[in-house]
Structure 1
């Protein structure tokens, strides 16, 4: 009698185990809260990154890094109005100061950063350089590629540029300046080397 009971109990246990292991994991209709879906950084600010006294300056546009690309940001430069567009070197200096500055709170919240790091200065060209040349205190090729892309696109889009979305840029050494071009591809991939174009032809020497 006991063997019959034991046998039936064992058979029931084996059958139950087979049913449990054979059915696998069942799907459930209960929703699972996995948190909010990831969202893309906005790359735009409501105030253009201007606060306080700087909001009373001259409107300027610089290129910052956001979402691994270059995005234009409107700011205000403290440069006096009468000097804002008349001197390319002074304009370039004001723009460089903007790129060296830390992004504002609203810019950081929107995802903006800058790769331009000091110490870094900009000045005019030297004798023999094409007109409109800007020379940095460091060789352009020695800068981080993204930082150079920021400088090229910011300068090329301002009165400090050489026209046609280009800027003539050199360093402190004896190397000749290069004509860097800001393109859509460069803005999308600022970690790549900025493309260059031919230097403007020197002015013809009058013959007597």
Structure 2
């Protein structure tokens, strides 16, 4: 081995030792791990919460934050339509609140909603269980996030105490009992609410 090759090998060994000492592993291919992950707080500041207080019925709605469902306190105004029950009026107020774009403070905290404006709710039709709620949009036509938001919000505020809600589309479509589970709240985009057909 001539002197030039010996010096080249020695230099390579020395460079490897320096890299190892610095905790850097040499590599033959470029790597790109992307930007460092950002932390989304999903928590409103005290001043932001205070600014949202007002008259109305206090409720909790489920918004999407960091791909999970997170509760947000709201005050809703109930309509005085005497043709509907209090439960239906509460359900409609909740749907309207879910469809309202998050405030600037909520957006900065990472909150969003997948529920679209225009969805209405009515009470049971002839032959339906008394607890049934019928949406103008069939639940199966909603996005995964929107369905999870509606199921968990209605089950929490306008339905029974067992974490379920009986919903269907317009008259003639099947009624199903949807359940809001911890898995749905933590992974609403991939875990669908458990469902059982009522009629």
Instruction: Return the TM-score normalized by structure 1.
Output: 0.74
**Cα-Cα RMSD:** 3.1
Other-structure match for 2:12:
21
**Mapping for residues 27-176 of structure 1, pairs under 5 Å:** 27=19, 38-47=37-46, 50=49, 55-58=53-56, 59-79=58-78, 87-158=86-157, 160-176=158-174
Cα deviations by residue, 1:165-204 (Å, 9 ceiling, x for unpaired): 111111014123111111111111212221124649xxxx
State how many pairs are aligned: 181
Aligned residues of 1:50 and 1:76 also touching (Cα < 8 A): no
Deviation at 1:144, TM superposition (A): 0.5
Q: 1:119 to 1:79 in 2, by over 3 A?
A: closer
Deviation at 1:48, TM superposition (A): 8.5
Deviation at 1:22, TM superposition (A): 3.4
Structure 1 residue runs of 5 or longer lacking an equivalent are: 1-10, 30-35, 201-208
Aligned residues of 2:44 and 2:105 also touching (Cα < 8 A): yes
Structure 2 residue runs of 5 or longer lacking an equivalent are: 23-34
